[in-house]
Structure 1
Amino acid sequence: MNLFYTPNLQPNMTEYVLSEEESKHCSRVLRLGVGDKVQLIDGRGGFFEAEISDAAPKKTKLRILNYTSDQDKRSFRIHIAVAPTKNMDRMEWFVEKAVELGIDEISLLQCARSERKNINLDRLEKIAISAMKQSMKSYLPKINELTRYEDFISQRFSQNEHKFIAHLVEGQERFSLAKSITGYGTYTILIGPEGDFSPEEVEQALQAGFKPVTLGSSRLRTETAALAACHTIHVVLDV
C-alpha cells in the first residue's frame, strides 16, 4: 500500500489534506483515485490508514480510518554525531541508510580537521523523509545544525546516556563498541572527519565522559564508520 508523510496529522483528526507535493505524487504519479486506501506516517510514531475522498492534484483529501501510535518504537535510542565529509554525497548516503536501519538523531560536528564548513539541512531532511517512507518507518530522526565540536561535547547529557568516541589516535586505549553496549537507553557516538579527531579533541571527549571505542580492524571512511556504529547497536540490542 502507498505511504505518505503527513507531519501535521493529529490522532484525533477524521480528515486530512495532503501537501501539494504529496497530492501531486498521489494523484498524478501513482494515479490513485477516490476510494483507494493509503497509509500515512507523521514522523512521530503515528501510523494511519486512510481512504481518498477527493483526488485533486494539489489538495488530495483523505478520510482517516485507523490510527496506531508508536508503530516501530524501540527500547533504545541511537544518536550519531558525525563530522560532515567534504563530498556531501557521502554524507547524504549515510543519512539515507541510517534512517533505513533506524536512527533517532543525527548531529553534524565542526571539528578541527573538518573540510566542510556548511551544510544544506533542508536537503538532508528531505533525504531522511524519503528514506523513512521507503523503509516503512514511522519516526523521522532529528537532524541538528552544524555545531562546533567543543560546544557539542560540553552540553549536558543525561546521567544514564551511553557516550562513545570512535577514533584512530595511536597510543590511546580503545574498546570494542559491540562489547561496550550494555542495556538499553540512549547511545551517543562521535565520528570524526576524514582526517580523524585531533589528539586534543579525543582528550576533551574523554574528560567529558566519552568512552573510546573501535569499530573493528578496518580503517573506515567517515560515513561508513557512522553507519557501522548505528548498525552495531541494532545488532546487539534489536532482538
Structure 2
Amino acid sequence: MQLFYNPDILDSETFQKSNEIIFDKEESRHIVKVLRMKVGHTFKITNGKGSFFNAEILNANPKGCLVKILSEEKQQPLPYQLHLAVAPTKLNDRYEWFLEKATEIGISEITPIICDHSERKVIKPERYEKIVQSAAKQSLKAYLPLLNPAVSFKDFMILESKSKGLKCIAHCEETDRKSLKSLLLPKQRVTILIGPEGDFSTEEVVLAKRHGFIPVTLGKSRLRTETAAIAACHSVAFVNEV
C-alpha cells in the first residue's frame, strides 16, 4: 500500500463538495517522476487526522498532481495517549531519529523542552514536521502526532500543571525512582519527560515532582536521550498491544 499525505482534505463532507485536490511540487514529483504513476492510477491519502482517502490521478503533472477523492475510510486512533517531552540532543540527527521511530511506534504528542543542561536550544520545526510526516506515511499511520513548539522546562510545567493521567520524569539521579513499566496500564493518558545529555538538574526534578510527575527509571542501563525516549515510547505501546 502506497500512502501519501495531504492536510488539505478535511473530512468526507468537504471532499464531497470539492472532491479534487492538487499535491504540492515535492509530493507531485514523487508520485509522477519517482513512482511513475499515470492518469487512472489509484492510491491512498491521509490527512493525518484519522482517515485514509482513496484517490485517482486526473492529471499526472510533476509540478502539481491533480487527483480525485473517491471515498473515505476512517481509522481507529491509538488506544492510549502518549505525550513525550524530550530535550533536543546536541547532534540534531539523533533527535530526528527519535521523531521518526516514535512516529512509527505510535505517539500522540511531542514537545521539545529546553532544560538547564541543554546544549541545543534552537530547533528546526519545519524539518521536524517533514520527518514526522514521512515516518507516518512509511508506517501507514492515519494520525500524525502533534509536534509542539519548543518550550522551556519551567514553561512546560505551567502548561502541564492541570493535565491528567500518569505523569513521569525519567532521570539518572540515584534517588528513589519507580520502574516505568510498573506504573503503566492499558488505555492511559501518559506524559513522560526525557532530559538532555547532561540529564535534568536537581532543581528541575524537584519542580517536576511538585507538579505531580513521578520519578522513574527505564532500566539498569544508562541510555542516551533519544534511546531513552524510544524505550519509553515502546513501553507504553507494548502495554497496549492486544
TM-score, normalising length: structure 1? 0.95
Segments of 5+ residues of structure 1 without an aligned counterpart are none
1:219 aligns with 2:219: no
Look up the match of 2:151: 147
Distance of 2:99 and 2:136 partners within structure 1? 10
Look up the match of 1:175: 178
Superposed CA offset, 1:15-60 (max 9, x none): 2222222111111111100111111010111111111111112221
SS in 1 for 2:54: strand
Structure 2 letter corresponding to 1:99: T
SS in 1 for 2:67: strand
Look up the match of 2:241: 238
Q: What is the 5 A alignment of 1:2-151?
A: 2-10=2-10, 11-12=12-13, 13=15, 14-69=19-74, 71-151=75-155
Q: Could you tell me whether the CA contact under 8 Å between 1:160 and 1:185 is conserved in 2?
A: no
Segments of 5+ residues of structure 2 without an aligned counterpart are none
Q: Could you tell me whether the CA contact under 8 Å between 1:128 and 1:141 is conserved in 2?
A: yes
**RMSD after superposition:** 1.3
Distance of 1:111 and 1:189 partners within structure 2? 15
Stretches of 4+ aligned residues off by more than 6 angstroms: none
C-alpha deviation, 1:159, in angstroms: 5.3
Distance of 2:196 and 2:183 partners within structure 1? 23
SS in 2 for 1:98: helix
TM-score, normalising length: structure 2? 0.94
How many residues are aligned here? 237
Q: Identify if the C-alpha distance between structure 1 residues 186 and 175 changes in structure 2 by more than 3 Å, giving closer, same or farther.
A: same
Distance of 2:71 and 2:237 partners within structure 1? 30
Q: Could you tell me whether the CA contact under 8 Å between 2:78 and 2:106 is conserved in 1?
A: no
2:190 equivalent among 178, 183, 187: 187
Q: Percent identity?
A: 49
C-alpha deviation, 1:160, in angstroms: 3.3
Q: Could you tell me whether the CA contact under 8 Å between 2:186 and 2:239 is conserved in 1?
A: no
Distance of 1:154 and 1:28 partners within structure 2? 48
Structure 1 letter corresponding to 2:5: Y
